[in-house]
Amino acid sequence: MKQLLLGDEAIALGAINAGLSGVYAYPGTPSTEITEFIQTNKVARERGIHSRWCTNEKTAMEAALGMSYAGKRALVCMKHVGMNVCADAFVNSAITGVNGGLIVLAADDPSMHSSQNEQDSRFYGKFALIPVFEPSNQQEAYDMVASAFELSERMKTPVLLRIVTRLAHSRAAVEVGELGNENSLNPSIDQWVLLPGIARKKYVDLLGKQTDFEKASETSVYNRLEKGGQQRLGIIACGIGYNYVKENVGDNADILKVSQYPLSPKVIKAFAAEHESILVVEDGQPVVEETIAGMVGADYPIKGRLTGDLPRTGELTPDCVAKALGLPAGPAFDNAKNLAGRPPQLCQGCGHRDVYTALNQVLAEYPDYRVFGDIGCYTLGALPPFKALSSCVDMGASITMAKGAADAGLFPSVAIIGDSTFTHSGMTGLLDAVNDKSNITVVISDNLTTGMTGGQDSAGTNKFEAICLGLGVEPEHVRVVVPLPKNMPEITRILKEEIEYNGVSVIIPRRECIQTAARHARERAKETKK
């Protein structure tokens, strides 16, 4: 049966049908819809497949590894930068190996549609020395989940499934297969204690598997050579790069389609030998372009993102690939003259707006203040009309950067962080600040949800005062306010008092996200109708 599915949904359904027992994830564009699909899927609910959101990507990765240890199939999902958060567990999971199938899904965001960088997760696969799957379309995304679980269990390795925004958020018809059984509980009897003496041996084991991984790539149904007649140029088309090549040249090119890694040196060398030059079309960073240079010899002409034949940054498009193939651009209109950018903005009525209004008003009295921001809807406070932030770097960095700047003597040093980001990566930094009695003011702007990604549950809801007190913030310096225009005098007074306090203060402006509030009101109305 065919179903119209987003790339993300295809992966979710592929996982359920492949006998998934648990998905572990923290929301992050463009990966969020995978977990959401599983949370609302009927079969997943009936089977009791674990799908509750995790506090961050590291807790997700470790829980999934635990499920794998117990013998069941687990999926971890995250956006690309989440790989940085879970890297410790991820890299070491390659050393321990797995028991039940383990897939780590990383959704990369070339062009940074909703991100801070465009790091390519295939580097992580290479770094951890594990197989990587990279679907070219929604059907492959569906099919690959079962293949990856199978490979994972057969070779006792985690498998990285790498997608990009354009696949994650694009819909196409997918032929859906039968529902398979879950694994039964069967805890590992292998050695998973990575003491140095054991880890050294396991690392050698992992290196020994590399030839098997290469062989798996050579025989993979997702990798193939397409001959388009005697061509001088060979095209290596990775992941969705394949689509842009086919869009432009159809069957009239020699294409080595790559959707499973590691690359086989044998295959690459043979392809190079049959052609005079190679064009590498890959979405993200030049991973393959760099790798094959070491296989085909320094003098062999390779074209790609490093040579400027394709743009060094940004996602691939049919147009940039056409240009790299030397095809002329078709007729098109110029850019319009009467056009202005329309950046995203905080919703009208959003509590974060009131927080920034108050902050800006209070801080105007101090000549040298800085506000360190964090990741979420409230990062939009950096844009007009508020222009309230000096930094936004990574999850949790607001508190720790404010602390470091305060250590250096900056005053006032203010951090603003959302509720979900605080539990994701802010708590440990707050403990550092408390232990150092740093002179910082932390604003936890609590809208009771993970707003930017569409209103998922937030791990710390109803626990923030207790968390702050538990970490050692003094009770009289944990203050809660309701961010509404009518409360502005009270909010500004409290902000001022806490900025003036020489130590760690936490102010929690708390009001539900207006998007989730509207959704909850609709749900309640529906309930009363019944």
Partner 1 sequence: MKKDIILCGVGGQGILSIATVIGEAATEAGLNLKQAEVHGMSQRGGDVQSNLRLSTEPIYSDLIPQGGTDVVISMEPMEALRYLPYLAKTGTIVTSSKPFVNIPNYPDEAALMAELDSMPSVVKLDIESVAKDAGNARGANMVLLGMAAPFIEILTVEQLRRAISVIFARKGEAVVEANLKAFDCGVEASKK
Binding footprint of partner 1 on the chain (CB under 8 A): 2, 4, 6, 29-30, 32-33, 113-114, 166-167, 169-173, 240, 242-244, 246-247, 317-319, 322, 329-347, 377, 380, 384, 452-454
Q: How far is the CB of 389 from partner 1 (least distance, A)?
A: 15
CA distance 311 to 284: 10
Asked if residues 457 and 449 have their Cβ atoms less than 8 Å apart, the reply is yes
Is the CB of 155 or the CB of 347 nearer to partner 1? 347
Q: Which residue has the tokens 């951890």?
A: 128
Q: Position 488: which residue type?
A: M
Asked if residues 163 and 108 have their Cβ atoms less than 8 Å apart, the reply is yes
Q: How far is the CB of 96 from partner 1 (least distance, A)?
A: 34
Q: How far is the CB of 342 from partner 1 (least distance, A)?
A: 4
Ramachandran area for residue 452 (φ above 0: left; ψ -120 to 50: alpha; else beta): alpha
| One-character DSSP codes across 111-159 | T-TTSS----THHHHHHHT--EE--SSHHHHHHHHHHHHHHHHHHT--E
**Secondary structure E strands in 307-461:** 370-372, 413-418, 441-445
CA distance 305 to 298: 17
Cβ-proximal residues to 41 (8 Å cutoff; 6+ apart), any chain? 12, 13, 16
Is the CB of 265 or the CB of 349 nearer to partner 1? 349
Q: Which residue has the tokens 């079309």?
A: 281
Q: Is 78 helix (H, G, I), strand (E, B) or coil?
A: strand
Is the CB of 385 or the CB of 470 nearer to partner 1? 385
**Other CB atoms closer than 10 Å to residue 496's CB: what's the count?**
18
Q: How far is the CB of 346 from partner 1 (least distance, A)?
A: 7
Is the CB of 4 or the CB of 521 nearer to partner 1? 4
Q: How far is the CB of 284 from partner 1 (least distance, A)?
A: 16
Ramachandran area for residue 326 (φ above 0: left; ψ -120 to 50: alpha; else beta): left
CA distance 250 to 264: 25
Q: How far is the CB of 206 from partner 1 (least distance, A)?
A: 36
Is the CB of 389 or the CB of 402 nearer to partner 1? 389
Structure tokens at 40: 């609302």
Is the CB of 297 or the CB of 330 nearer to partner 1? 330
Report the greatest alpha carbon distance in the chain: 78
Nearest residue to 421 (alpha-carbon basis) of 389, 363, 464: 464
Is the CB of 56 or the CB of 243 nearer to partner 1? 243
Q: How far is the CB of 490 from partner 1 (least distance, A)?
A: 28
Q: Is 23 helix (H, G, I), strand (E, B) or coil?
A: strand
Is the CB of 160 or the CB of 240 nearer to partner 1? 240
Q: How far is the CB of 244 from partner 1 (least distance, A)?
A: 5
Determine the straight-line distance between the first and last CA of the chain, rounded to whole angstroms.
Answer: 33
Q: How far is the CB of 336 from partner 1 (least distance, A)?
A: 4
Sign, Cα dihedral of 399, 400, 401, 403: positive
Asked if residues 264 and 147 have their Cβ atoms less than 8 Å apart, the reply is no
Is the CB of 83 or the CB of 402 nearer to partner 1? 83
Strand partners, 510: 446
Nearest residue to 263 (alpha-carbon basis) of 136, 132, 153: 132
CA atoms within 13 A on the CB side of 291: 19
CA distance 94 to 212: 15
Q: How far is the CB of 4 from partner 1 (least distance, A)?
A: 5
Q: b vs e for 277-298, b when ≥16 Cβ sit within 10 Å of the residue's Cβ?
A: ebbbbbbbbbbbbbbbbebbee
Q: How far is the CB of 52 from partner 1 (least distance, A)?
A: 21
Is the CB of 196 or the CB of 333 nearer to partner 1? 333
Is the CB of 8 or the CB of 153 nearer to partner 1? 8
Q: How far is the CB of 114 from partner 1 (least distance, A)?
A: 4
Is the CB of 152 or the CB of 449 nearer to partner 1? 449
Is the CB of 319 or the CB of 474 nearer to partner 1? 319
Q: How far is the CB of 453 from partner 1 (least distance, A)?
A: 7
Is the CB of 85 or the CB of 346 nearer to partner 1? 346
Q: b vs e for 410-425, b when ≥16 Cβ sit within 10 Å of the residue's Cβ?
A: bbbbbbbbbbbbbbbb
Q: How far is the CB of 49 from partner 1 (least distance, A)?
A: 23
CA distance 39 to 311: 38
